[in-house]
């Protein structure tokens, strides 16, 4: 008989009763005392899951990550997942939930997709408390002589009407909570003390003399931290086959840095021999940001990168119309491989090893499966197939063996840029090496921001479309002969980032014409049908 989850945690995960808080029977939070106790323990190996550029068919990166972890467990390896919390924006929009699927799913998936343990609500509240305090300061005399406010309000719902709002005091904007600096701060803070320091460092705007103003000038960091005192504690849940998963923080990867929390990943690395984590979207976005922004705060570096693909996604990158994806099309599949080949090149640029993992669908033809197998053999590519959706861990045993083997191989990590480099050169390095751009055009506004903050030695977080290697979502495959246009720069000093906005990017998504919010149906007992 399977142990209850709390008993499993105490008996199997090296976690003591006073280090875990129960949120019902299947959701838990971990106390900071656990992180302190494990500080000097040896770290496990870190496996980073990335993907091709996403398409309308979906790639199933989270499903594959969970299935891969279940395969490791079937092979009797001590494994843990470290994943992001879903945002309600995509859940009720077009993308849907982010807890896996089929036999490779986190439990309780519906709770995790929605309110979970309230972390994102706490972040939204802290974000908007700061906005209220700023406006209240202006209302009662503006002692700091605030001239321009950089800080934006937040909401964890897709609402394009809030991209620009006019209050009685000033013009403002909303960003989705998952893309807010408050979310980035939670994801990058190493402990509560670091969280408070980062909150104090938030750049809220400038005064009439052009001087920077910070949260420390308002003296409200402790109130913001009070709202986040539980949100900073990582969440522990389980995948279907009792694989433990730390699911904590959820910054988007196209307009934020796209990685779960430093605290959760470091905790998992001390508890398990192998930790599987994700970087949102493709290797051009999530992986690059993970390696430049998050990895420096971790107790170890990435051992191997797994690149997820599907046959349908590759055919879409090869030019096939969505209505013809189920038809065998070797020429389109071959053309679509240009996209994944670029991602593999990106991984090599960092000196890391890779594994291509095909998320297999029942509709995949033997002819196309054989073609991919031969492509991998011909090009000396580590290649495996996942059937985790339909078979759980049984469908990923061989893939897990391959990933483990490659993770044990030697590698030599090297970043694309140093923090001390010129900011424009950092952007150029990413655009040319990761995306394949010929050049970058900076707006006057962006150039002025870079000049004003050139003294800051910070990593770059480029906000661009995830749907293409370029800045144009319509360009599939491996675009060439394009220029990346930069419209603005957001200085996130609390997070320790310079967020570089490409032309046309929005930090508050809108709902699609037929959002998933219109599809949910409940019975009279409140259960989802």
| Helix (H/G/I), strand (E/B), else coil: 148 | strand
How far is Cα 235 from Cα 84, in angstroms, rounded to an integer?
A: 10
Q: What phi, psi does 337 have (nearest 5°)? A: -65, -20
What is 177-236 written as a DSSP string? Answer: GGGSHHHHHHHH-SSHHHHHHHHHT-EEEEETTS-EEEHHHHT-HHHHHHHHTTTTSPEE
Q: Within 13 Å and on the Cβ side, how many CA atoms surround 199? A: 26
Q: Which residue has the tokens 């840095």?
A: 257
What is 445-505 written as a DSSP string? Answer: HHHHHHHHTTT----EEEE--SSSSSS-TT--SS--S-EEEEEEEEEETTTTEEEEEETT-
- What's the predicted TM-score (pTM) here? 0.95
Pairing of strands 20-22, 439-442: unpaired
Tokens (6 digits) for 198: 């980062």
Per-residue model confidence as pLDDT tens for the chain (529 residues): 356 999 999 999 999 999 999 999 999 999 999 999 999 999 999 999 999 998 877 788 999 999 999 999 999 999 999 999 999 888 888 766 789 999 999 999 999 999 999 999 999 999 999 999 999 999 999 999 999 999 999 999 999 999 999 999 999 999 999 999 999 999 999 999 999 999 999 999 999 999 999 999 999 999 999 999 999 999 999 999 999 999 999 998 888 899 999 999 999 999 999 999 999 899 999 999 999 999 999 999 999 999 999 999 999 999 998 889 889 999 999 999 999 999 999 999 999 999 999 999 988 999 999 999 999 999 999 999 999 999 999 999 999 999 999 999 999 999 999 999 999 999 999 999 999 999 999 999 999 999 999 999 999 999 999 999 999 999 999 999 999 999 999 999 999 999 999 999 989 989 888 888 888 889 998 888 8
Under 8 Å between Cβ of 186 and 160: no
| Helix (H/G/I), strand (E/B), else coil: 424 | helix
pLDDT of residue 1: 37
How far is Cα 497 from Cα 153, in angstroms, rounded to an integer?
A: 19
How far is Cα 396 from Cα 388, in angstroms, rounded to an integer?
A: 6
Pairing of strands 235-239, 28-30: antiparallel
**Residues forming beta bridges with residue 455, ordered by sequence position:** none
Angle separating helix axes 221-228 and 119-139, nearest 10 degrees: 160
CATH number of 423-502: 3.10.410.10
**Residues forming beta bridges with residue 442, ordered by sequence position:** 486
How far is Cα 240 from Cα 106, in angstroms, rounded to an integer?
A: 6
- Domain definitions of the chain by residue range: 5-117+231-407, 119-228, 423-502
| Helix (H/G/I), strand (E/B), else coil: 408 | coil
| Helix (H/G/I), strand (E/B), else coil: 367 | helix
The CA angle 314-53-497, to the nearest 5 degrees, is 170
Reading phi first (left if > 0) and then psi (alpha if -120 to 50, else beta), residue 96 is in left
Burial class of residue 397 in the structure, from the number of CB atoms within 10 Å of its CB (0-12 exposed, 13-18 middle, 19+ buried) = middle
pLDDT of residue 31: 98
Q: Which fold has domain 119-228?
A: Domain 2, N(10)-formyltetrahydrofolate synthetase (3.30.1510)
Correct CATH for 5-117+231-407 of 3.40.50.720, 3.40.350.10, 3.30.10.20, 3.40.50.300:
3.40.50.300
pLDDT of residue 174: 95
Under 8 Å between Cβ of 407 and 303: yes
3-state SS string for 235-275: EEEEECCCCEEEECCCCCCCCCCCCCCHHHHHHHHHHCCEE
pLDDT of residue 95: 66
């Amino acid at each position: 008989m399977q142990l209850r989850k709390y008993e499993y945690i105490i008996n199997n995960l090296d976690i003591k009763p006073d280090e875990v808080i129960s949120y019902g029977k299947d959701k838990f939070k971990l106390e900071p005392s656990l992180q302190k106790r494990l500080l000097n323990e040896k770290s496990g190996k870190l496996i980073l899951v990335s993907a091709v550029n996403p398409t309308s068919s979906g790639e199933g990166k989270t499903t594959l990550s969970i299935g891969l972890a279940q395969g490791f467990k079937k092979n009797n390896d001590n494994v843990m997942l470290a994943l992001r919390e879903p945002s309600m924006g995509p859940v009720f929009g077009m993308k849907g939930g982010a807890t896996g699927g089929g036999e490779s799913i986190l439990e309780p998936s519906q709770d995790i997709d929605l309110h979970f343990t309230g972390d994102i609500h706490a972040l939204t509240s802290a974000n908007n408390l700061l906005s209220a305090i700023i406006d209240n300061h202006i209302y009662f005399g503006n002692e700091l002589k605030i001239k321009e406010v950089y800080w934006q309000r937040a909401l964890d719902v897709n609402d394009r009407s809030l991209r620009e709002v006019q209050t009685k005091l000033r013009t403002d904007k909303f960003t989705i909570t998952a893309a807010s600096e408050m979310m980035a701060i939670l994801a990058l803070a190493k402990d509560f003390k670091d969280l408070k320091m980062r909150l104090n460092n938030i750049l809220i705007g400038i005064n009439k003399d052009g001087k920077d103003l910070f949260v420390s000038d308002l003296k409200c960091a402790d109130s913001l931290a009070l709202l986040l005192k539980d949100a900073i504690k990582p969440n522990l849940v389980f995948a279907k086959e009792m694989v433990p998963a730390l699911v904590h923080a959820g910054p988007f990867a196209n307009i934020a840095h796209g990685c779960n929390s430093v605290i959760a990943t470091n905790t998992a690395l001390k508890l398990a021999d192998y930790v599987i984590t994700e970087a949102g979207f493709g290797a051009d976005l999530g992986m690059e940001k993970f390696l430049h922004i998050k990895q420096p705060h971790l107790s170890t570096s990435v051992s191997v990168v797994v690149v997820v693909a599907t046959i349908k996604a590759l055919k879409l990158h090869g030019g096939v119309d969505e209505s013809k994806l189920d038809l065998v099309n070797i020429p389109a599949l071959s053309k679509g491989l240009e996209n994944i080949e670029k991602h593999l090149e990106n991984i090599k640029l960092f000196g890391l090893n890779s594994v291509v993992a095909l998320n297999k669908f029942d509709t995949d033809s033997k002819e196309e499966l054989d073609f991919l197998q031969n492509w991998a053999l011909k090009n000396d590519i580590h290649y495996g197939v996942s059937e985790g959706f339909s078979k759980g861990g049984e469908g990923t045993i061989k893939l897990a063996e391959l990933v483990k083997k490659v993770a044990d191989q030697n590698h030599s990590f090297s970043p694309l840029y140093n923090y001390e480099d010129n900011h424009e050169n950092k952007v150029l390095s990413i655009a040319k090496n990761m995306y394949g751009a010929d050049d970058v055009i900076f707006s006057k506004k962006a150039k002025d921001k870079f000049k004003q903050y050139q003294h800051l030695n910070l990593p770059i977080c480029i906000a661009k479309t995830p749907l293409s290697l370029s800045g144009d979502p319509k360009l599939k495959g491996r675009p060439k002969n394009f220029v990346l246009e930069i419209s603005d720069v957001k200085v996130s000093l609390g997070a320790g980032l310079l967020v570089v906005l490409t032309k046309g990017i929005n930090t508050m998504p809108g709902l699609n014409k037929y959002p998933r919010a219109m599809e949910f149906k409940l019975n009279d007992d409140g259960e989802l049908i």
